Structure 1
């Protein structure tokens, strides 16, 4: 859906004399900060899940880490889709444009979106509770989220 909206927004903007509606490349810095924060919080949960339990894991921190990871993946998917739609429309305009800056900017932001999706999904997996050894009812794949 985001790809279709991105394509439509770019189509309308470029046909009416406006620039491509992409994020500036400086938004990759913000993307990197979000990825780093998600990895730091995810690392804390992962260490606890792997047995480093010198202190109890704050359940609010674990829940917020899970929500942050999911939000990171969703935001990455929207960014990837939006800029992929713009990329597709920019390819059609490549023959009549003198610059390829919107094309390369879209590629860079698509890669940033893909990295956000991957990090979000990995950290979300970190937030799975370990299997309960006492009952043996759940396997690792069926584990609940922290």
Structure 2
């Protein structure tokens, strides 16, 4: 499985920032509420990050030599997938709320209540936490290079296997 490319996280953040900004422009023109997730979403984001971190710590503990129990490879693979999903979800949430924040920055001096601005900042912070946890747990799931088998010779492909001859 490939590791996350930080450039893709940046691209996702930028694309969603543009989408968040555009959506906020359209909703404010229609006199609708800001498209911000409620603060209760932070609990869900935190739960996902904690579960991902706990599973990642189990994989790291096994990887570092504390092998009192057998680690199911499927659990390790699912932990890696969860870590990558957590990082991408964090990038999406960060980008969306940064786009909304950029749109709302000119209105801060005019606002009497800064509650929605703090909600936006909190959700963007939650996105950052999810990205960091995802990237860290992905590192936990990476096996160190195995140098003990340096004398082995790579296997060659059997002749005629999978090759077709054309006349």
1:136 Cα deviation from its structure 2 partner? 4.8
Q: Which runs of 4+ in 1 moved over 4 A?
A: none
1:5 Cα deviation from its structure 2 partner? 0.2
Q: Find out whether 1:26 has 2:40 as its counterpart.
A: yes
- Unmatched segments (≥5 aa) in structure 2: 1-14, 152-167
Matches within 5 A, 1:43-58: 43-58=57-72
Q: TM-score, normalised by structure 1?
A: 0.89
Q: Find out whether 1:91 has 2:105 as its counterpart.
A: yes
Taking the aligned partners of 1:87 and 1:99, their CA distance within structure 2 comes to 15
Taking the aligned partners of 1:36 and 1:104, their CA distance within structure 2 comes to 23
1:122 aligned residue: 136
What CA RMSD, in Å, does the superposition of the two structures yield over aligned residues?
1.4
Deviations 1:68-110 (A, max 9, x none): 0000000000000000000000112224433222211110001
* More deviation, 13-22/91-100: 91-100
1:132 Cα deviation from its structure 2 partner? 1.0
Q: Find out whether 1:15 has 2:29 as its counterpart.
A: yes
Do 1:45 and 1:62's aligned partners in 2 also have CA atoms closer than 8 Å? yes
1:133 aligned residue: 147
1:42 aligned residue: 56
1:112 Cα deviation from its structure 2 partner? 0.4
Taking the aligned partners of 1:8 and 1:94, their CA distance within structure 2 comes to 18
* More deviation, 123-132/71-80: 123-132
Q: Which has the larger radius of gyration?
A: 2
**3-state SS of paired residue (2:111):** coil
Q: Find out whether 1:78 has 2:92 as its counterpart.
A: yes
1:69 pairs, out of 66, 69, 83, with: 83
- Unmatched segments (≥5 aa) in structure 1: 138-146
Number of aligned pairs?
Answer: 137
2:74 aligned residue: 60
